[in-house]
Amino acid sequence: MSERPRPHPAVYRAAEAALRERDPEAKCERVLELARAWWADELEGTDAPAPQRMEVPGRPGRPVLVHPKELPRRGLHTTAGRVALVHAVAHIEFNAINLALDAVYRFRDMPAPFVSDWLQVAAEEARHFRLLRARLHELGADYGDLPAHNGLWEAALATDHDVMVRMALVPRVLEARGLDVTPGMIERLTAAGDHATVALLEIIQREEVAHVAIGTRWFRELAHARGFDPEPLFLALLAEHMPGRVRPPFAHEARLAAGFTESEMGALEQQGRR
C-alpha cells in the first residue's frame, strides 16, 4: 500500500469506547460524535492501549441470542411478521456498527483513509439502525423484543487476526449477502402494502452498496500489497473459511456496483452450484 498519514492514536481509544457501549442509542451518539470529531481533527490524546480480543462487544441484554434455525419464520401480511423482519434487519445494522468500529479499533497498521472509510460506514449504520428502530416503534415494538443470532460477530472473531481476511469475508460475503436478499424483501413488503418499511430498505440498499465497495477496495489494496491476485485469493479464502455459504441467486448489478467483477460473479455462480 502507498504511504499515507497515520491515524491519531486517540481515534482508537474513542472507537473502543463506542464499541464497548451497550446502550444502542448511546452507541449511535458516540459513533456520530466520533465521526464528527475525526473529520474535524478534534480528537485528543497521545496513546491508546493495544487492541484486545473482544468476545462480546457492547450490546444490550436483549435481544436474546439463539441459533439461526431457532428464529421463527412469519409471513409479511401480519404486523407480527413485519415486526420480525424489521427487527432482524435492525439487529444486522446494530452488529454492523460494531463491525465497522472494530475495524478501526483493531487494525492499527492501516492508514488514515481506512479509518475515515470505516467511521463513515459506522455512522451510516448507526443512522440505519435508528431508522429501523423508529419503524419498530411505529409497529408497536422495540429492538430486543425478539430473539436474534450472533453470526456477524462470530465472523468478526474469526477474522480478527488479519485485516485482509476481514475485508474479504465480512463486507464481501456477509454484508454483500444483504444486497442479494433485500430486493426480495422489498418485493414482499410492497405486496403486503408496507410502503414505509420499503422506503427504509431502499435507502439502506443504496448505502450498503457503498459499504461493500469499501471492503472490496481495501481487500484488493491489501492483496496487491502482499503480492496476491485478489480474485483467486478471494475465492480461496471463501473456500477455506465459508465453504458452501455463498449461493445464488445474486443481486448481480448491485454486486457489480459494489466492486465485484464479472469474472468474480461467474466464479461465485459456479461455486454456488456445487
Tell me how crowded residue 73 is: count the other CB atoms within 10 A of its CB: 6
Cell digits for 201?
Answer: 430498505
Distance spanning both ends of the chain, measured CA to CA: 35
Distance CA 111, CA 5 (A): 6
Q: What is the predicted pLDDT for the residue at 245?
A: 74
Task: Check if the beta carbon of residue 197 is closer than 8 Å to that of residue 135.
Answer: yes
Q: What is the predicted pLDDT for the residue at 49?
A: 85
Task: Check if the beta carbon of residue 43 is closer than 8 Å to that of residue 52.
Answer: no
Give how far Cα 164 sits from Cα of 70, 211, 216, 274, Å: 32, 16, 10, 26
Distance CA 176, CA 166 (A): 13
Distance CA 194, CA 211 (A): 26
Q: Which residue has the cell 455462480?
A: 269
Distance CA 33, CA 39 (A): 10
Q: What is the predicted pLDDT for the residue at 5?
A: 59
Helix-, strand-, coil-residue percentages of the chain, each rounded to 5: 65, 0, 35
Q: What is the predicted pLDDT for the residue at 6?
A: 65
Q: What does the DSSP assignment read for 176-235? A: HHHHHHHHHHHHHHHHTT-HHHHHHHHHHHHHHHHHHHHHHHHHHHHHHHTT--HHHHHH
pLDDT by residue, tens only, the chain of 274 residues: 444 456 778 999 999 999 999 999 999 999 999 999 999 999 887 678 889 999 999 999 999 999 888 887 878 889 999 999 999 999 999 999 999 999 999 999 999 999 999 999 999 999 999 999 999 999 999 999 999 999 889 999 999 999 999 999 999 999 999 999 999 999 999 999 999 999 999 999 999 999 999 999 999 999 999 999 999 999 999 999 988 778 888 999 999 999 999 999 999 988 766 6
Q: What is the CA radius of gyration of the chain?
A: 18
pLDDT in tens, 134-181: 999 999 999 999 999 998 899 999 999 999 999 999 999 999 999 999
Total residues belonging to the chain: 274
Distance CA 238, CA 259 (A): 17
Residue 251: strand, helix, or coil = coil
